[in-house]
C-alpha cells in the first residue's frame, strides 16, 4: 500500500525509532547494486544451464528447493529471464529485495510476462545469499513442487502433482480448442496456449494471487485465464502473456464435452486479449468466450443455461444485462451462473440476428470506445448493430424467453 501524504518530522522520527533499525535503501542505486549483480549472475547461469552457478549465491539451507526450481525452469523453452531490483529493505544481516521478474517462453509468448518477486537474503561471511521468498511475492507453478511439462501441437502444459496422462489429456483438449477458436476469431494471435495445472484448488488460488484460505472461492471454477487487459495502451496493444490455470477438482468433474467447452472458452480469452480493454463489458467478453465454447456443442440452450432457464420458468427472468460485478468470483453460485448464461445468450443473439462477423466487430468496437478506458457500450451497439442499449436489452430479454421457456 502506498501513502501519498508525507509524515511530519516528529512522526517520521517516531516511526524510524519504532522500526528498530530497519532501513529503507531503495532510493540509492548503490544499495540495490549488490543484489542486482547477484540476480544477474544467477539468471545468466539459468539461461546457460549452469546448475552450480545458479546455486552458488543460494543459502545452503534453501539449496534443495532452489535446485528443484532450477530443474523445473530448465524444462521450459525460456528465451528471456531477468530481474530488475526495485527496492531493498535491510537490517543487520538480513534483507528483503523486491524485484520485477521478466520472462518469456519461446514459441508461445508474444510478449514477456512480468511478476513481482520479494526475495529474502542473508549475509554470510560478508556475502549476501538468497534464502527464499518473502510474503507478498507472486507464486509461480514451478515453485510448487516437481513440475512435469507436456508439449502439444498448439499447447504447453505445466503440471505439479498431476499424472502425465492427465496432462496429456489437457494438451489434447487444448490442441482441439486452438483451431476451433481460430476459425471463430480470425484476428492475428499466437495460436498457442500455456496451461498451468496445479495439484489442488489451494495451489490454484496461490497462482491467482489469492491466499490459500480463499481457495473456496475457486471450488466451482474449472479454469481461469490470467492476463491484463490492454488498458491505457488501447485495443491491439500487447499485454502480459496469458496463462490458463486449471482447477484439478472442478475440471475433473466435467464430462469430456464439458472440458472441451471450458478450454475453448478460456482459449477464446487468450485469442481476444489484445482487443480486450477496461471498456469491454464482462457480459461481452465472457459471453463471446461461451459462444465460442458452445458453438460446436450438441447442448440445447436450456441444457447450457440451466440456472437462467429456471429463473425464466419461475417468472424471474432478468430485466437487464449483467453488470461486471455479477461476474465476481465468490458470488452466490446460481447468480454467477446466470450472469455467464446471460452473457452467452446475448452474444448468441447477436450472432443469430446480425451474424458472427457483427459479433466480432461489436467486440472490437466496444474495446475501442472512449480510448479503451471507460465503458461506452451504447456507442458500440449503435455503431455496429444500429440499436441503442435500451432496444438491445429489450430484444435480448425476448430472445432469452423464447430460447428458455419450457
Amino acid 220: pLDDT: 87
Considering the domain 139-274, what is its CATH architecture? 2-Layer Sandwich (3.30)
Amino acid 372: pLDDT: 64
Write the pLDDT tens digit of every residue in 44-92: 999 999 999 999 999 999 999 999 999 999 999 999 999 999 999 998 8
pLDDT category at 230 given cuts 50, 70, 90 is very low
| 232-249 mean pLDDT | 71
Amino acid 2: pLDDT: 24
Amino acid 1: pLDDT: 27
Taking the complete model, does pTM exceed 0.85, yes or no?
Answer: yes
Asked if pLDDT for residue 213 goes beyond 50, the answer is yes
Amino acid 30: pLDDT: 55
pLDDT category at 308 given cuts 50, 70, 90 is very high
Spatial distance between the Cα atoms of 326 and 330, rounded to a whole number of angstroms: 10
pLDDT category at 233 given cuts 50, 70, 90 is very low
Query: Taking the domains of the chain in order of start, what are their residue ranges?
Result: 20-138, 139-274, 277-406
Classify domain 20-138 at the CATH topology level.
Nuclear Transport Factor 2; Chain: A, (3.10.450)
Amino acid 63: pLDDT: 97
Q: What mean pLDDT is reported for the chain? A: 88
Amino acid at each position: 500500500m502506498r501513502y501519498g501524504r508525507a509524515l511530519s518530522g516528529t512522526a517520521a522520527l517516531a516511526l524510524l525509532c519504532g522500526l528498530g533499525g530497519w532501513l529503507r535503501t531503495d532510493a540509492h542505486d548503490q544499495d540495490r547494486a549488490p543484489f542486482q549483480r547477484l540476480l544477474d549472475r544467477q539468471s545468466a547461469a539459468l539461461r546457460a544451464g549452469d546448475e552450480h552457478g545458479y546455486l552458488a549465491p543460494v543459502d545452503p539451507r534453501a539449496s534443495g528447493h532452489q535446485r528443484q526450481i532450477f530443474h523445473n525452469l530448465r524444462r521450459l523453452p525460456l528465451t528471456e529471464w531477468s530481474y530488475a531490483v526495485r527496492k531493498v529493505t535491510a537490517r543487520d544481516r538480513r534483507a528483503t529485495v523486491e524485484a520485477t521478474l521478466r520472462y518469456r517462453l519461446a514459441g508461445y509468448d508474444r510478449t514477456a510476462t512480468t511478476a513481482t518477486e520479494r526475495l529474502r537474503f542473508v549475509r554470510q561471511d560478508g556475502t549476501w545469499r538468497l534464502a527464499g521468498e518473502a510474503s507478498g511475492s507472486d507464486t509461480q507453478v514451478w515453485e510448487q513442487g516437481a513440475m512435469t511439462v507436456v508439449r502439444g501441437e498448439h499447447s504447453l502444459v505445466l503440471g505439479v502433482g498431476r499424472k502425465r496422462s492427465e496432462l496429456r489429456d489437457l494438451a489434447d483438449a487444448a490442441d482441439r480448442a486452438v483451431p476451433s477458436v481460430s476459425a471463430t476469431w480470425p484476428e492475428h494471435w499466437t495460436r498457442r496456449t500455456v496451461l498451468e495445472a496445479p495439484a489442488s484448488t489451494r495451489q490454484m488460488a496461490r497462482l491467482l494471487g489469492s491466499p490459500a484460505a480463499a481457495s473456496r472461492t475457486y471450488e466451482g471454477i474449472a479454469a481461469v485465464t490470467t492476463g491484463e487487459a490492454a488498458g491505457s495502451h488501447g485495443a491491439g496493444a500487447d499485454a502480459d502473456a496469458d496463462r490458463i490455470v486449471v482447477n484439478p477438482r472442478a475440471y475433473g468433474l466435467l464430462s469430456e464435452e464439458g472440458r472441451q467447452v471450458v478450454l475453448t472458452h478460456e482459449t477464446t480469452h487468450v485469442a481476444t486479449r489484445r482487443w480486450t480493454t477496461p471498456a469491454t463489458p464482462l457480459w461481452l467478453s465472457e459471453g463471446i468466450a461461451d459462444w465460442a465454447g458452445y458453438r460446436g456443442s450438441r447442448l440445447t440452450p436450456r441444457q447450457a443455461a440451466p440456472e437462467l432457464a429456471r429463473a425464466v420458468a419461475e417468472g424471474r427472468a432478468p430485466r437487464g444485462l449483467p453488470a461486471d460485478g455479477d461476474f465476481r468470483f465468490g458470488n452466490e453460485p446460481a447468480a454467477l451462473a446466470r450472469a455467464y448464461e446471460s452473457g452467452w445468450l446475448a452474444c448468441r443473439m447477436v450472432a443469430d440476428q446480425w451474424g458472427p462477423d457483427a459479433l466480432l466487430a461489436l467486440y472490437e468496437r466496444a474495446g475501442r470506445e472512449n480510448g479503451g478506458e471507460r465503458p461506452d457500450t451504447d456507442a458500440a451497439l449503435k455503431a455496429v448493430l444500429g440499436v441503442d442499449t435500451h432496444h438491445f436489452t429489450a430484444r435480448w430479454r425476448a430472445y432469452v424467453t423464447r430460447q428458455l421457456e419450457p
